[in-house]
Amino acid sequence: MKTFKMLSLELLEENQFTSYPLIDGIIINQENSHKYWILEMYMDAQYAGDFAKYLGTDDILDVRAVISYPDNEPAYFRVVVHNITEMPDTGHVSVLLKGTLNSNRRQYAEQLLLELVEEGLTGNALLERFKSDLHNRKKLK
């Protein structure tokens, strides 16, 4: 197993990412045959409801997390909410997500680049728009 520091997490709902401020977070690559990952977030209890509605369901959520260094591009995961634990007398919760790393990131980048070139973008305008849309995960046509 490998562990990583999670710096931020965003949840995709209705084609929009919502960012959740973390007090602390960890991501564990279980390195098993199922290629499962565990994401645990320690956050303010006010955000628990956003995840509690998925607890006990089989709903697969799309999330992105920045791992290890703030300048790293987000990693994309498909996860289910596995557990929510209230931390007594702290006003905080632990939210445990389990799932898989979304590996079609390269395909997304290639499709995004193709769309931007078809729009006629070139040079610095193409580079800046590509960086921006890749980071924001713009919905493709």
Residue by residue, DSSP assigns 92-122 as EEEEEEEEEE--THHHHHHHHHHHHHHTT--
Which whole number is the average pLDDT over 96-114? Answer: 80
Instruction: Tell me, yes or no, whether 61 and 121 share the same domain.
Output: no
CATH number, domain containing residue 67: 2.40.10
Query: Is 89 within a domain?
Result: yes
Q: What is the pLDDT of residue 113?
A: 87
Q: Which of 48, 30, 47 is nearest to 39 (CA)?
A: 30
Q: Is 100 exposed, middle or buried (0-12, 13-18, 19+ CB in 10 A)?
A: middle
Instruction: Tell me, yes or no, whether 23 and 52 share the same domain.
Output: yes
Q: What six digits make up the tokens of 133?
A: 């849309």
Output the average pLDDT for the chain: 89
Q: What is the pLDDT of residue 30?
A: 87
Element (H, E) at 63: strand 61-67
Count: domains in the chain: 2
User: What's the pLDDT tens digit per position in 4-62?
Assistant: 999 999 999 988 889 999 999 999 998 887 789 999 999 999 999 999 999 999 899 99
Instruction: Tell me, yes or no, whether 39 and 83 share the same domain.
Output: yes
List the domain range (segments joined by +) for residue 117. Answer: 105-136
Q: What six digits make up the tokens of 137?
A: 């995960």
